[in-house]
Amino acid sequence: MYDELKKILDESKNIVFFGGAGVSTESGVPDFRSENGLYHAQQNYGRSPEEMLSHTFFMRNMETFYDYYKNNLICDGVKPNKAHLALAKLEQMGKLKAVVTQNIDGLHQMAGSQVVYELHGSVLRNRCMKCNQSYELDYVMDPKNCEGHVPHCEICGGVVKPEVVLYEECLDDGCITGAVNAIAAADTLIVGGTSLVVYPAAGLIQYFRGKHLVLINKSSTPYDSKADLVIHEPIGEVLGECLGL
């Protein structure tokens, strides 16, 4: 299987990668949708992650939202793994044209990827809801900038909200357009670390009209039967081996 993937990578000139939580879990970023994540949320908060990460919950229960958010979605010290590094290397080789990710941790950029469409935003970007002043993650995490767990703008005192797409919120139009155009133009689409069940993001795969569809995920997906190559192994291991990392 690895030889087949290497052959596809060698032949391809316009690769796009579409990834999900499985790409980052290999760096130690927890998947809040996993069984452990659901159990932890119910045990500690009495609610599901989806409820606590919704726009409605954010607006009505900011203190609990930020308590959950800071303790479960922010991971200090995590670094890119072989999957992130391999994709950055493919881009440097001129083969990979874009990364489309459902992750919000910024690890693709940390690894060196330049063209990244973050469908669900990023924890690294934060903005005052009142005056639109932007803030980095360190500001939000610093207790001296917060009332309880809730960060406030140093200019106007408004609440600083992460530029993360919450449940009930729309994806960014510009990001979606860029991702769709990249996928539509690709000759090879590599999908990794995602079960392809979270919409609307998972629906983007339908725009692919290229030659090779490759799926790399530890479990099966609804698109396995449509792919040219399916590898049920950790994505960092697979891409690391193919790129000599």
List residues with catalytic annotation: 120
161's CB contacts (< 8 A; 6+ apart) are 58, 126, 127, 128, 129
User: CB under 8 Å, gap of 24 or more: what pairs does 39-42 form?
Assistant: 40/72, 41/68, 41/72
CA–CA dist 41, 231 (Å, integer): 31
For helices 235-242 and 2-11, angle between their N-to-C axes, nearest 10 degrees = 60
Q: Which helix (H) or strand (E) covers residue 177, if one does?
A: helix 173-185
| Cα 12 from chain centroid (whole Å) | 24
Q: Which helix (H) or strand (E) covers residue 190, if one does?
A: strand 188-192
Whether omega before 200 lies within 30 degrees of 0, making that bond cis, reads: yes
Q: Strand pairing of 121-128 and 134-136? A: antiparallel
3-state secondary structure 2-15: HHHHHHHHHHCCCE
Q: DSSP string spanning 20-87?
A: -HHHHHTTT---TTSHHHHHHHHHHHSS-HHHHTBHHHHHH-HHHHHHHHHHHT--TT----HHHHHH
